[in-house]
Amino acid sequence: EAGVAQSPRYKIIEKRQSVAFWCNPISGHATLYWYQQILGQGPKLLIQFQNNGVVDDSQLPKDRFSAERLKGVDSTLKIQPAKLEDSAVYLCASSLDLQGGGYEQYFGPGTRLTVT
């Protein structure tokens, strides 16, 4: 079974520039998550999708971050404009289905973003 795929793996940008990350979840997984993990901290949920609908985006800084999951499969997370404090690893995860009890989340390798 193929795992969660993410790209790019690394990205370096200057502050005020834009960046986009891509995630392809495990086939058949209805739920997709984007986390931000700052060095030395636990992952923080930014946004959660169930199919192509948003379940929770309460911790997404909506003035600069946006995310979409068209067609309920792949997802993109965008930052525009980036700030220095956005430097982190952005992790995508997926799980089977909320209602079906598919609680286990499978993480992708992450995208390490450095903002200079």
Residues that bind another protein (CB under 8 A): 31, 40-45, 48, 55-56, 91, 98, 103-110
- Residue 31 or 75 having the CB closest to another protein: 31
Nearest CB to another protein, comparing residues 9 and 15? 9
Q: How many CB atoms lie within 10 A of CB 79?
A: 22
Q: Cβ of residue 21: shortest distance to another protein, in angstroms?
A: 14
Return the number of the residue (24 or 31) whose C-beta is nearest another protein.
31
User: Least Å distance between CB 80 and another protein?
Assistant: 26
User: Which residues does 87 contact at the CB level (< 8 Å), separation at least 6?
Assistant: 38, 113, 114, 115
Place of tokens 């379940």: 55
Q: What share of the chain is helix, strand, coil (3-state, %, to 5)?
A: 5, 45, 45
